[in-house]
Amino acid sequence: MSYVYYQSVESHTTIQFVYTIIAGAGFCFNHLFMGSQAGKRYYLIPLALDSLFIIGFVFFFPKATLYLILFGVNAVTLFLVAESKRILLGCSLAFFVIWGICITYTFYATGNFSVMNNLINFTFIVFAAVVGRLIHKLLLAQEKIESQYDELAQTHDALKVAHEKLHHYSSQVEELTLIRERNRISGEIHDTVGHKMTALLVQLQVAKELLNSKPEKSKETILLCEELARNTLQEIRLSVRTLREDRQPQSFLSTVRKILEDYKMMTGLTSTLAVKGDATKIPVSIQLDLTRIIQESITNSVRHGQANECSVMLEVTDSNIDIFIKDNGTGAATVSPGFGLKNMRERVHEHGGNIMFESTASNGFIVKARFPLKEIRWQMGGA
């Protein structure tokens, strides 16, 4: 553009020649400086110098209106790098003041004023400013997208690490829960089966003593021992099966159904299982205790209530897990919690839940339990 200005006059003066060289070199230096980090921070200094060079062309070459195109280059630069609206507004007002001075000087020096040339060149300035601002917004959007992508990548990595830790912790909790359950079952075998084996030995000794003196009484005692041995063997099988299944992870519902099927095969107990809600929401730490409550309930139904039918209803919501177990056994006028019922109560209370036992003579036995999922509350005292 400096060269075009120089060629716009037929005869050149020395000062015009020298100024054209100085202005061209100044433009190059300023725009190279704008590409540096310091130039991006202090961009108003090279833009102000460019404006001075442009004004110099107006005074040395008053007949041409190409200076507005040079201001268009400045407009692209300004609207591309400026962040503050105040700076944009201040520079725009300064341009109109400078433009007015340049128009006045040109009219004074040449006696001519071309409205069309000024309007066309001013339109180019507006176009350059719009293009510069659009590129500015595009660069900002690109930087924001890159920043968000980096944040997303970091979040993804953090979630991946957290998922791995959660999986590891879940495996540990499951393993510890299984170990605790095996220890609990071992205690149950010791307390229940051990007690029955002791009673069996006592009854066998009684039968031995009565064998000669009271053979009929001895025969009755032997039959009692046979029944006692059969019940003990059944409990041992169920406990061993439970321990074996703990080493083979299955879904909660599959485990419960298998228990009910086993009781059907071994005792003839007919049972139904109804589930309302999403059973996958049941935490692993509650699944085992819930399974044992069902197992203990149907064992009591057969052992103490002589029941042949039992229904299990499970309801899962966002806040609670409710279990309802009812049989058609003989029931009892009063409920006196023994080892099994106390064990169930301890399991429920460990999770901050509550359990109720209901029974009347000849109307079966009912177990109701609730496990809270969102709010855990322990009550000291009471049922």
Between residues 193 and 362, the one the model is more confident about: 362
Between residues 212 and 320, the one the model is more confident about: 320
Helix (H) or strand (E) holding 357: strand 354-359
pLDDT score recorded for residue 190: 59
Q: How far apart are the first and last CA of the chain?
A: 97
* φ, ψ dihedrals at 143, nearest 5°: -65, -40
Q: Is residue 373 over pLDDT 80?
A: yes
What are 329's two structure tokens?
Answer: 């056994």
Residue 304 in contact with residue 264, Cβ under 8 Å? no
pLDDT > 90 in the chain, percent: 12
Measured between alpha carbons, how far is 239 from 253 in angstroms, rounded to an integer?
19
* φ, ψ dihedrals at 359, nearest 5°: -165, 145
- Classify strands 270-276 and 309-316 as parallel, antiparallel or unpaired: parallel
pLDDT score recorded for residue 321: 93
Residue 308 in contact with residue 352, Cβ under 8 Å? no
* 247 confidence band (pLDDT: 50, 70, 90): very low
Between residues 364 and 324, the one the model is more confident about: 324
Residues 6+ apart with CB under 8 A from 299: 235, 238, 263, 340
Rounded to the nearest 10 degrees, the angle between the axes of helix 44-60 and helix 67-81 is 170
Tell me the three state secondary structure of residue 235: helix
- Average pLDDT (57-74) is 81
Q: Is residue 330 over pLDDT 70?
A: yes
Helix (H) or strand (E) holding 367: strand 365-372
- Average pLDDT (40-50) is 84
pLDDT score recorded for residue 238: 61
* 324 confidence band (pLDDT: 50, 70, 90): very high
Helix (H) or strand (E) holding 378: none
Q: Is residue 248 over pLDDT 50?
A: no
What's the whole-number average pLDDT of the chain?
81
Tell me: the pLDDT tens digits for 109-153?
A: 888 877 888 888 888 889 988 998 999 899 889 989 998 999 999
Residues 6+ apart with CB under 8 A from 116: none
b/e map 152-175, b = 16+ CB within 10 Å = eeeeeeeeeeeeeeeeeeeeeeee
Most confident of 8-17, 189-198, 237-246: 8-17
Tell me: the pLDDT tens digits for 279-308?
A: 888 887 788 888 888 988 888 888 778 888
Tokens 């790098």 found at: 81
- Average pLDDT (4-18) is 75
Tokens 């503050």 found at: 84
Tell me: the pLDDT tens digits for 254-287?
A: 888 888 887 788 778 899 999 999 988 888 778 8
Among 242-256, 345-359, 369-383, name the one with the lowest average pLDDT: 242-256
Q: Is residue 242 over pLDDT 60?
A: no
Task: Check: pTM over 0.85? Answer yes or no.
Answer: no
Q: Is residue 338 over pLDDT 60?
A: yes
* 20 confidence band (pLDDT: 50, 70, 90): confident
| Of 380, 376, 381, 374, the residue nearest 353 (C-alpha) | 376
Tell me the three state secondary structure of residue 326: strand
Tell me: the pLDDT tens digits for 87-109?
A: 889 988 998 998 888 888 888 88
Torsion of CA 6, 11, 17, 23, to 10 degrees: -30
| Of 70, 78, 160, 65, the residue nearest 118 (C-alpha) | 65
Answer positive or negative: Cα dihedral of 191, 193, 199, 202.
Answer: negative
Measured between alpha carbons, how far is 267 from 230 in angstroms, rounded to an integer?
11
- Average pLDDT (193-221) is 75
Q: Which residues pair with 367 in a beta bridge?
A: 325, 357
- Average pLDDT (337-360) is 84
Q: Is residue 234 over pLDDT 90?
A: no
Q: Is residue 328 over pLDDT 70?
A: yes
pLDDT score recorded for residue 276: 93
| Of 203, 283, 192, the residue nearest 234 (C-alpha) | 192
